[in-house]
Amino acid sequence: MLQSSRTATAKIIVAMSGGVDSSVAAALLKRAGFNVSGVFIELYDLPCLREAEKRAKRVAKALKVPLRVLDLRKEFKKEVIDYFLAEYRAGRTPNPCIVCNKKIKFNFGGWMATGHYVRRVGSKLLQARDKEKDQSYFLWQLAQKQLKHILFPNGHYTKPEIRKLAKEFKLPVFETPESQEVCFVQKTTEQFLSRYIKRKPGYIIDVKGKVLGQHQGLLFYTIGQRKGIGLSGGPFWVLKKDLKKNLLIVTKKEKDLLRKELTFKNVNWISGKAPKLPLKVKAKIRYRSALSPATVYKNKVIFNRPQRAITPGQSVVFYRGEELLGGGVIR
């Protein structure tokens, strides 16, 4: 929980998105005696962002805290959207939220706070009390220089408790629905990509090389995908993508998607120091996947049990108990 300390009298910036989570985070900090100011970050041009800005201003007014609007659209396009498109063009499936947290949302300097569901205890990051809402997976790229001045008030609460607090604080956002994971996509990822990436049709084949049909652009599919392949006689799952030959390889056996081993790059350790390897951990290969026992080597992870649809471009993230140790990008 938030406690009075010498930091409580210092100024703290709260990233206020206009949603219930960041709004309650600001209210909790003010109640705890912090000198709170808000910042609303302009990331892209969409009607939903204008509405979010209006909500953030209403919340700031209700809390009687100043709110600054910061235009980071150029930085967001360069660091997040361009990265997102480049990864898809390379045949990978990226996670832009992780990059956004590292490059955009946590680079204000001084003390700051967000509405993320995660706990910081000293120099350590821990999973949120609400394991269903825990967002530590998205923060594995953060460094100690960023973490030492960040507070996460919501990590000690469940989502229902946060909504209840929003009512108690009389915030005009307590019924605001959940935001989508990839905020700038708006509708579907395929529709967004279609605006920037030219489709290059090619053949769909099975694991034996038999041609089953035609895909509508290899970059629009992801490993483990079942819907939208467009083949009769299924179900089929996307097993591999051969970019050189422009082939989409599918299988009728879902067990073909199981793998016990992956390689990774761009490793980051939250402590700032690499641990002694090999290291026994619990790891997950996507936000909604379960934690699974594994062993981490220099650039490889071997799971005790096979994992479904290990996907290049996604993140493999490591835990010890509730503590987030770090992670890497799946090759």
Tokens of 39: 């910042």
Q: Cis (ω within 30 of 0) for the bond into 278?
A: yes
Task: State the fold for domain 9-168.
Answer: Rossmann fold (3.40.50)
Which residues are registered as beta bridge partners of 324?
125, 319
Task: State the fold for domain 258-330.
Answer: Elongation Factor Tu (Ef-tu); domain 3 (2.40.30)
Specify the pTM.
0.92
Give the model's pLDDT for residue 185.
82
Catalytic residue among 98, 173, 183, 219: 183
**Catalytic residue list contains 100:** yes
Catalytic residue among 14, 36, 49, 100: 100
Pick from 43, 304, 293: which is nearest to 179 by CA? 43
For residue 284, which amino acid is it? K
For residue 60, which amino acid is it? A
How many C-beta neighbours within 10 Å does residue 3 have?
8
Phi and psi torsions of 303, nearest 5°? -85, 150
Give the model's pLDDT for residue 9.
59
Give the model's pLDDT for residue 213.
97
Q: What's the CATH number of domain 198-252, 2.30.30.280, 1.25.40.10, 2.40.50.100, 1.10.490.10?
A: 2.30.30.280
How many C-beta neighbours within 10 Å does residue 159 have?
16
Where along the chain do its domains lie? 9-168, 198-252, 258-330
Pick from 93, 81, 77: which is nearest to 219 by CA? 93
Tens of pLDDT along the chain (331 residues)?
A: 565 444 545 799 999 999 999 999 999 999 999 999 999 999 988 888 899 999 999 999 999 999 999 999 999 999 999 999 999 999 999 999 999 999 999 877 789 999 999 999 999 999 999 999 999 999 999 999 999 999 999 999 999 999 999 999 999 987 777 766 678 887 788 899 999 999 999 999 999 999 999 999 999 999 999 999 999 998 999 999 999 999 999 999 999 999 999 999 999 999 999 999 999 999 999 999 999 999 999 999 999 999 999 999 999 999 999 999 999 999 9
Give the model's pLDDT for residue 90.
94
**Catalytic residue list contains 183:** yes
Our separate counts of H helices and E strands in the chain read 8, 17
Query: Exposure pattern of 77-111 as b/e (b: 16+ CB <10 Å)?
Result: bebbbebbbebbeebbbbbbbbbbbbbbbbebeeb
Give the model's pLDDT for residue 6.
47
Contact between 296 and 284 (Cβ < 8 Å): no
Give the model's pLDDT for residue 2.
60
Tokens of 38: 């808000």
Give the model's pLDDT for residue 88.
95
